[in-house]
Amino acid sequence: MNGAERGELERLRDAVSDLIGFGFEADRIVQLGVALWPRVQELGLSGFDAYISRLRAPEHRAAETTAVGSLLTVTETYFHRSYDQIVAFLDQVAEPAARSRRLRILSAGCASGEEPYTLAIALRERFPDIERWDVEIVGFDLNALMLKKAEEGRYSAWSLRALPPELKKKYFRKVERSYELLPAARSMVKFLHQNLVEPGVWPFEGFEADAIFCRNVLMYFSPDVMKTVVTRLTSSLRKGGYLFLGHAEALRGITQDYQLCHTHETFYYQKRPSEQERTEGREESEQKDSTAAAPAASETISWFEAIHAASERVMALAKRGELEGAPPSSLFTATLGKEKLAEVLALMEKERFSEALRLMEALSPEAKEEPEALLLFAVLMTNRGNIEAAETACEKLLARDDLNAGAHYLKALCLEHSGDEEGAREHDSIAAHLDPTLAMPRLHAGLLAKRAGDLLTAQSELTRALGLLAREEPSRLVLFGGGFSRESLTSLCRTELARMGERFE
């Protein structure tokens, strides 16, 4: 590809991003060209530059949004997809709404409608009096062809594959080889052609939704677009309302407006109260912190203790200089100052924990309360074996930023130490959900599962940890590796897996 062709593809990528928000890495722009070329041919245009002009012309915007959307998105969806989340919705959102009998729900990126219709069926099944409720379920998508299918309400057996047979019988009528949704559930859902990133056009401002489902949509967007889209969704959600995302999507690094919920073996988010209410809550929780009783000591040797023991002797095994030039961990924002952060990390890497701590202690009272400082302090306290101080720092950090994966991991270590292995597993699983690239929660979860005799989970977690360790950022290993080098941690995973292999035989 010559420079002119690359330039043309880059302009195409920018036009597509402006139209529907999709992000394309530099190494994928050729694929973008391949995907959109059929559309250029279908329109009889001379090439991409002509197509770019069309993409930018207001009169073609709606048609091209659908065309580009259909060529670039996967519209795969089905009834009862990730049903754990639907049950969480029924219990956490719909049950409390039974008092007022009022519910507002958005299905953002609803494709051919299976998601909002699943909600309608689930509500009918749970609440026999739903006809007397004031319910509004709105599904929207940028793909007009999918919306047409949604409005027709006719589905293949494949779309109904996860639906229990009794519900299929009760809510559908067989028409030739398709299944037609009956009016009872169908009439509960309205559809709208709406692009989540259309500039200036957002009809759901102040919609006061009780729940928004935006599953398997955000993954297409660049981080900046994702922020804009989440801000829009937030403006449509009532305070305390819930946001359900796909399994591979998380709000880490996108917004602080939500707290993570983990129930029904699934994850979702709840919109936080206003800043003022949050500050009041914080003051209350700080008072609680200061009076919290010390956790009971565990009889078993925990990973926390192993870290404490190792932090003084094994750090020397970590490759010296590995940290040099490495970017500060992505778990940090720049507020504490990259230099100060790098200084503390460099001291930690050289096992100079006391100096690192002194550096932290010299921070101003305000700087000490910043999330970055709290996280570093929690790490230092963990390495020193000071569980109480580590846990207090974690609690404070999570009260400010409960989407902080590192804090959840450190909390898991503290809980394991105090004998609460179930709590530890929960926090490891939250950390892994919030940052699927973080190796240590996987490793820790693997060791916990092995100790509990759950060898299948142990094997799967340690295998994932092994893969992640190979790519883990050096600075994050210094922070969370507990004083062990990448090689030591890798070898630990391998040894544990090999031992289990023997036991499985």
Return phi, psi of residue 104, to 5°: -125, 125
Interaction of residue 217 with ligand SAM, rule CB under 6 A = yes
Tokens of 131: 């006809």
CA distance 187 to 117: 9
Q: Out of 79, 89, 117, 220, which residue is the one contacting ligand SAM (CB under 6 A)? A: 220
Tokens 């019988």 belong to: 169
Largest CA distance in the chain: 76
Interaction of residue 413 with ligand SAM, rule CB under 6 A = no
Interaction of residue 54 with ligand SAM, rule CB under 6 A = no
Site string for ligand SAM, 9-48 (x = CB under 6 A): -----------xx---------------------------
Toward ligand SAM, which CB reaches closer, 145 or 309?
145
- Nearest CA among 7, 5, 32 for reference residue 17: 32
Q: 443-454: b or e for each residue (b if 16 or more CB lie within 10 Å)?
A: bbbbbbbbeeeb
Toward ligand SAM, which CB reaches closer, 139 or 446?
139
Smallest separation (angstroms) from ligand SAM to the CB of 307: 39
CA distance 220 to 72: 9
Interaction of residue 109 with ligand SAM, rule CB under 6 A = yes
Toward ligand SAM, which CB reaches closer, 32 or 407?
32
- Nearest CA among 212, 259, 287 for reference residue 401: 259
Interaction of residue 105 with ligand SAM, rule CB under 6 A = no
Tokens 């026999």 belong to: 128
CA distance 121 to 230: 27
The identity of residue 167, as a single letter, is: L
What SS3 state is found at 240? strand
Interaction of residue 73 with ligand SAM, rule CB under 6 A = yes
Interaction of residue 143 with ligand SAM, rule CB under 6 A = yes
Toward ligand SAM, which CB reaches closer, 80 or 338?
80
Applying CB under 6 A, the span of 75-83, 273-281, 318-326, 355-363 interacting with ligand SAM comes to 75-83
Toward ligand SAM, which CB reaches closer, 68 or 410?
68
- Nearest CA among 248, 265, 254 for reference residue 232: 254
How many residues interact with ligand SAM (rule CB under 6 A)?
25
Interaction of residue 150 with ligand SAM, rule CB under 6 A = no
Q: Which long-range contacts (CB under 8 A, 24 or more apart) does 286-292 make?
A: 286/396, 286/399, 289/392, 289/395, 289/396, 292/392, 292/395
Interaction of residue 111 with ligand SAM, rule CB under 6 A = yes
Interaction of residue 115 with ligand SAM, rule CB under 6 A = yes
Instruction: State how far the alpha carbon of 261 is from the alpha carbons of 94, 251, 285, 444, in Å.
Output: 16, 12, 18, 21
The identity of residue 126, as a single letter, is: R
Toward ligand SAM, which CB reaches closer, 215 or 425?
215
DSSP string over 476-495: HHHHHSTT--HHHHHHHHHH
Smallest separation (angstroms) from ligand SAM to the CB of 41: 22
- Nearest CA among 210, 242, 236, 235 for reference residue 103: 210
Give, as ranges, the residues between 232 and 261 that touch ligand SAM (CB under 6 A): 246
Tokens 């006809």 belong to: 131
Toward ligand SAM, which CB reaches closer, 146 or 341?
146
Smallest separation (angstroms) from ligand SAM to the CB of 372: 33
CA distance 383 to 374: 14
Q: Out of 85, 92, 195, 490, which residue is the one contacting ligand SAM (CB under 6 A)? A: 195
Tokens of 95: 């049950």
Smallest separation (angstroms) from ligand SAM to the CB of 21: 5
Interaction of residue 196 with ligand SAM, rule CB under 6 A = yes
Interaction of residue 489 with ligand SAM, rule CB under 6 A = no
Q: How do beta strands 154-155 and 178-181 pair?
A: antiparallel
Interaction of residue 81 with ligand SAM, rule CB under 6 A = yes
Q: Out of 86, 130, 197, 415, which residue is the one contacting ligand SAM (CB under 6 A)? A: 197
Q: Out of 15, 24, 36, 69, which residue is the one contacting ligand SAM (CB under 6 A)? A: 69
Q: Out of 85, 92, 159, 216, which residue is the one contacting ligand SAM (CB under 6 A)? A: 216
Smallest separation (angstroms) from ligand SAM to the CB of 458: 31
Q: Which residues bind ligand SAM (CB under 6 A)?
A: 20-21, 69, 73-77, 81, 109-111, 115, 141-143, 146, 195-197, 215-217, 220, 246
